[in-house]
């Protein structure tokens, strides 16, 4: 299955969640077993030789393929959640969103210095939440950190939020907004 065929299965919803946004809805992509398998296979192929020990899924859409990828890689899965959603002691990171500050959290002890982590989410738009996730995972001093997205919205304006040495990739790296 080609990248173009995968992209063709993404539904674009204009003006959601607010006017001017062209929302890239991956639910239509996930409906088709052949698309889901292709995404899963591509993710696995990208990371099978990287020594990943923990896949860190960003709430909530990083939970869609993150656990399946962790299983295939023989890795654990770490929940990265919004503030106040995890039941035990946490490590947190606060960051700015367009409407004010927000926080994300991971359970203390979920990542060790011996881990190689893959931060996974569905979509790279402005990058703010994932940059905060990167800083949060870095607090645990793992051996290495990779970042992956299913989709990279290349036309979305984004600040320079990631360090130059961040290892970022996407399955569908060239998705442009339709005219």
Q: What are phi and psi of 31, to 5 degrees?
A: -65, -30
Q: Would residue 98 show up in a list of annotated catalytic residues for this protein?
A: yes
The yes-or-no verdict on residue 163 having pLDDT over 70 is yes
In the prediction, which pLDDT does 22 show? 82
Looking at the predicted structure, is the pLDDT value of residue 165 above 90? Answer: no
At residue 68, the pLDDT reads 96
What mean pLDDT comes out for the span 109-113? Answer: 98
Q: What does the pLDDT read at residue 76?
A: 98
Residue 127 is predicted with a pLDDT of 87
Sign of CA dihedral 153, 58, 73, 67: negative
- Does the pLDDT at position 175 exceed 70? no
Confidence category of residue 158, pLDDT binned at 50, 70, 90: low
Q: Could you tell me the maximum CA-CA distance found in the chain, to the nearest angstrom? A: 47
pLDDT for 100: 86
Task: Check whether 174 has a pLDDT greater than 70.
Answer: no
Instruction: Specify the CATH number for 49-175; select among 3.20.20.70, 3.40.1190.20, 3.40.50.2020, 3.40.50.620.
Output: 3.40.50.2020
Q: What mean pLDDT, rounded, does the chain reach?
A: 92
Q: Which of 4, 89, 98, 113 is catalytic?
A: 98
Residue 159 reports pLDDT greater than 90 = no
- Give catalytic status of residue 105 as yes or no: no
Category of 10 on φ-ψ map: left (φ > 0), alpha (ψ -120 to 50) or beta: beta
Q: Is the pLDDT of residue 16 over 60?
A: yes
Give the Cα separation of 131 and 122 in Å (integer).
14
Out of 42, 61, 135, 158, the active site residue is 61
């Amino acid at each position: 299955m080609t990248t173009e065929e995968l992209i063709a299965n993404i539904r674009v919803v204009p003006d959601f969640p607010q006017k001017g946004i062209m929302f890239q809805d991956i639910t239509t992509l996930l409906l088709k077993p052949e698309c889901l398998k292709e995404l899963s296979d591509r993710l696995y192929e990208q990371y099978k030789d990287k020594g990943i020990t923990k896949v860190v899924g960003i709430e909530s859409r990083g939970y869609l393929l993150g656990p399946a990828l962790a299983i295939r890689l023989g890795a654990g899965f770490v929940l990265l959640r919004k503030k106040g959603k995890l039941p035990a002691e946490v490590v947190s990171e606060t960051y700015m969103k367009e409407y004010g500050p927000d926080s994300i959290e991971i359970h203390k002890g979920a990542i060790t210095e011996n881990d190689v982590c893959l931060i996974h989410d569905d979509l790279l738009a402005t990058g703010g939440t994932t940059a905060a996730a990167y800083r949060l995972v870095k607090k645990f001093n793992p051996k290495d950190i990779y970042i992956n997205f299913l989709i990279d919205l290349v036309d979305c304006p984004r600040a320079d939020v990631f360090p130059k040495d961040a290892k970022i990739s996407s399955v569908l790296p060239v998705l442009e907004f339709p005219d």
